[in-house]
Amino acid sequence: MDVSHRPWANHERRGLETIRAKLPYADPWRAWSNFTFTANSGYVYEVDLLVVLPNGAGVIELKDGHGSPSPRSPLG
């Protein structure tokens, strides 16, 4: 998880370090950070973190801010 090539992204570096410390270092857990992919439409998307878990996968978007995160309803 290297964001050293983007010095303005200190919040991402701190977030990735925090997440890395909490993830198990064991199979089948895997994580990839800071990559892009191109959709069929040609639009390029950036992913901060993709985590593969024993029961699925998740994409994490890291943001800079203060306070505690809270869940949001996908409908509201």
pLDDT tens across 35-45, in order?
Answer: 999 999 999 99
Tokens at 18, concatenated: 């925090």
What pTM does this model have? 0.67
Domain boundaries, the chain: 10-60
DSSP, collapsed to helix, strand or coil, labels residue 49 as: strand
Residue 4 to residues 11, 31, 56: CA-CA distances in angstroms?
A: 12, 17, 29
CB 60 within 8 A of CB 13: no
CB 56 within 8 A of CB 29: no
Written as tens digits, the pLDDT of the chain (76 aa) is 454 555 656 778 888 888 889 888 888 899 999 899 999 999 999 999 999 989 999 898 887 766 666 666 554 4
